Amino acid sequence: MYLLDLEQQSVRQALDWNTADIDWQGRGADRGLRGIAFDGDRVYIAASDELFAYTPEFELIGSWRSPFLKHCHEIAVWERTLYLTSTAYDSILGFDLDKHRFHWAMQLQTANYRFKAAPFDPMSSEGPLMLNKLHINSVHCSRHGMYICGLNSGGMLHFNGTQINMAVELPAGTHNAQPFRDGVLFNDSQADVLRYTGRGEGEEDRAMPVPVYDPETLQHVESAEEGLARPGFARGLCVLSDQVVAGGSSPSTITLYDLAKNTVLGSVNLSLDVRNAVHGLEVWPYD
């Protein structure tokens, strides 16, 4: 986990996830750390199957598990619940930020090209099967509802509390889709670009290519050729303002985009190993 100071142009590694407990199974092999979110003076960071809480100085406070949290990708806080994507179970899990326990869960089911919300107890011994049909990779919440995106979901889904509907169709392989301005912002990972698409005539639409590195400088390119990782893979997204956003890509690179000016403001590379990829990106809320 890294802290990037854009004004000072400095980088600090805050956590080194060097553990023998990493789950090597599933898409993407080494799961490592995934999403990040904040609640008061707590920093929440998710691994594949465990949620961790830290102080802003990264002292470990506690950790929690659910039998239905597996292959987590992104997390998000809305009101007094932290929502986690449980990719392996095609589910979203809710963690009560006051009682510090998993208290809500919903599996996304598909039938006849329609989606259904199937609630279940995230701490029960009974629940959904580990099928990973949709490969859910992000969750975003606002007063308008919950927005969910998966590699195989067909687009950005909207959950209004009772029903799940398709909010907008998006390219296959999309990551981090979320409402933005008058449209949708997302990583088009198959095309290696960050996109914004509005509701208008297309004047505001953007397709911002992620950084491309000389293959001779990259490490473990043979792994990329085997499909485990590849350079230019767009994943990780953070909104800084109504026109500036930060996007991630492989190998671990974070790039600032000015959508209004249709230009790249800067880019920071943390590793040339294509197996090291950016996932969760958030604005650091502490001094």
Q: What is the pLDDT of residue 27?
A: 42
Q: How far apart are CA 11 and CA 28, in angstroms?
A: 26
Give residue 203's pLDDT: 85
| CB neighbours of residue 57 within 10 Å | 8
- Tell me which amino acid residue 226 is: E
Tens place of pLDDT for every residue, the chain, 287 residues? 999 998 888 999 998 876 555 554 544 444 678 899 999 999 999 999 999 999 999 999 999 999 999 999 999 999 999 999 999 999 999 999 999 999 999 999 998 889 999 999 999 999 999 999 999 999 999 999 999 999 999 999 999 999 999 999 999 989 999 999 999 999 999 999 999 999 887 888 999 999 987 777 777 655 444 444 688 899 999 999 999 999 999 899 999 999 999 999 999 999 888 778 888 999 999 98
How confident is the model at residue 130, as a pLDDT? 96
Which structure tokens are listed for 111?
Answer: 């039938």
pLDDT at position 111 is 87
What pLDDT score does 259 carry? 96
Predicted pLDDT at 198:
93
Distance CA(267)–CA(282), nearest Å, equals 16
pTM above 0.85, yes or no: yes
d(Cα 73, Cα 277) in Å, to the nearest integer?
Answer: 12
Q: What is residue 214's predicted lDDT score, i.e. its pLDDT?
A: 73
Query: What is the Cα–Cα distance from 69 to 71, expressed in whole angstroms?
Result: 7
Q: What is the pLDDT of residue 274?
A: 79
For the chain, list the domains and their CATH numbers.
2-13+29-169 (2.130.10.10)
Tokens (6 digits) for 118: 């199937």
d(CA 126, CA 123): 9
